[in-house]
């Protein structure tokens, strides 16, 4: 069955000076999605307030999460959520975890591990905290149920290369599994890492900054030595051959202009095709 496409043009989780471009990026991708299979989450215009959580713009992020969750509950199969910033992945993984209890692994294709808490974050941006929140170790105000979390031992980090000190400590203390960009040229190591979790369902998160800046112009963060589109597509194809896809997100498209978006869209559509065909 074809997935439902859920477009979530949230920008409030990002701390990038290009954050508002994420709204334009989501809209550009939406224009190439099948209309009848696409749902749009209404994102508030206002930035939102921290509400003493240590998370910038928390009130808006919480509101978007609630609206995203409501749409996901109405999907009949799996959903591909299109951001916006990578904070949208919280609701998407929550939904997949509830649908496949105790049988879900997460592949985190991202230049950043996003493992901060409000206490460790140097910025207060939720985009840098979302994976920690998915594990149930994030802000207490998110009020996640245990059945909708995925423990860090069921997460495989893929392509990370911009890691803060607090995240590096956690990576080593918890022996988290990470597959480098060079290793992803052959997806066998990634497939083996997911198999080692024992899960038969996999959720695939893609922050487009996992790609090398030479592969895509419209990145909100430019981190060199990333993946090629071909290597990312090959890794996705290998995962789908071995596991059942439970959901996915694509985030971080921040084009400078509509013309620049058009230049990047063929590459993004190749990634969407690898997830859906």
Express each pLDDT in 21-66 by its tens digit.
999 999 999 999 999 999 999 999 999 999 999 999 999 999 999 9
**Cβ count near 122 (within 10 Å):** 11
Domain ranges of the chain: 4-276
CATH topology of domain 4-276: 3.40.800
Q: According to the model, what pLDDT value does residue 273 have?
A: 97
Q: According to the model, what pLDDT value does residue 95 have?
A: 97
**Confidence grade of residue 1 (pLDDT, cut at 50, 70, 90):** low
144: helix, coil or strand?
coil
Query: How far is Cα 103 from Cα 96, in angstroms, rounded to an integer?
Result: 10
Q: According to the model, what pLDDT value does residue 76 have?
A: 83
User: How do the residues of the chain divide into helix, strand and coil, expressed in percent and rounded to 5?
Assistant: 45, 15, 40
DSSP 192-261: HHHHHHT-SEEEEEEEGGGB-TTT-S-BSS--SS-B-HHHHHHHHHHHHHHSEEEEEEEE-B--SSHHHH
pLDDT digits (tens, 9 = 90+) for 91-131: 999 999 999 999 999 999 999 999 999 999 999 999 999 99
**Confidence grade of residue 77 (pLDDT, cut at 50, 70, 90):** confident
**Confidence grade of residue 221 (pLDDT, cut at 50, 70, 90):** confident
Asked if residues 268 and 206 have their Cβ atoms less than 8 Å apart, the reply is no
Mean pLDDT calculated for residue range 199-209? 98
pLDDT digits (tens, 9 = 90+) for 230-258: 999 999 999 999 999 999 999 999 999 99
**Confidence grade of residue 178 (pLDDT, cut at 50, 70, 90):** very high
Q: What is the pTM of this model?
A: 0.97
Q: According to the model, what pLDDT value does residue 171 have?
A: 97
Query: How far is Cα 20 from Cα 40, in angstroms, rounded to an integer?
Result: 17
Query: How far is Cα 272 from Cα 249, in angstroms, rounded to an integer?
Result: 10
Asked if residues 57 and 24 have their Cβ atoms less than 8 Å apart, the reply is no
The kind and range of the H/E element at 167 are helix 165-173
Please list, in sequence order, all residues whose beta carbon lies within 8 angstroms of the beta carbon of residue 57, skipping any fewer than 6 positions away.
12, 13, 47, 48, 49, 50, 126
């Amino acid at each position: 069955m074809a997935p439902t496409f859920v477009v979530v043009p949230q920008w409030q989780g990002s701390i990038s000076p290009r954050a508002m471009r994420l709204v334009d990026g989501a809209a550009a991708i939406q224009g190439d999605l099948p209309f009848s299979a696409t749902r749009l989450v209404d994102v508030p215009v206002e930035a939102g307030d921290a509400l003493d959580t240590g998370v910038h713009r928390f009130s808006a992020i919480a509101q978007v999460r609630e609206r995203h969750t409501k749409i996901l509950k109405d999907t009949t199969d799996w959903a591909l959520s299109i951001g916006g910033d990578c904070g949208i992945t919280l609701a998407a993984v929550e939904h997949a975890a509830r649908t496949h209890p105790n049988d879900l692994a997460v592949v985190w294709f991202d230049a950043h591990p996003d493992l901060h808490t409000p206490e460790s974050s140097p910025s207060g941006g939720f985009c840098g905290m979302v994976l920690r929140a998915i594990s149930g170790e994030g802000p207490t105000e998110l009020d996640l149920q245990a059945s909708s979390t995925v423990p860090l031992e069921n997460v495989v980090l893929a392509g990370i290369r911009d890691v803060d000190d607090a995240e590096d400590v956690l990576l080593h203390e918890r022996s988290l599994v990470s597959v480098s960009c060079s290793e992803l040229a052959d997806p066998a190591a990634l497939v083996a890492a997911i198999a080692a979790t024992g899960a038969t369902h996999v959720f695939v998160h893609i922050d487009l900054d996992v790609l090398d800046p030479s592969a895509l112009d419209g990145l909100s963060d430019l981190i060199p030595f990333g993946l090629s589109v071909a290597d990312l597509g090959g890794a996705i194809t290998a995962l789908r051959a071995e596991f059942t896809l439970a959901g996915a997100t694509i985030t971080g498209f921040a084009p400078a202009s509509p013309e620049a978006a058009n230049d990047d869209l063929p590459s993004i559509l190749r990634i969407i095709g690898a997830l859906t065909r």
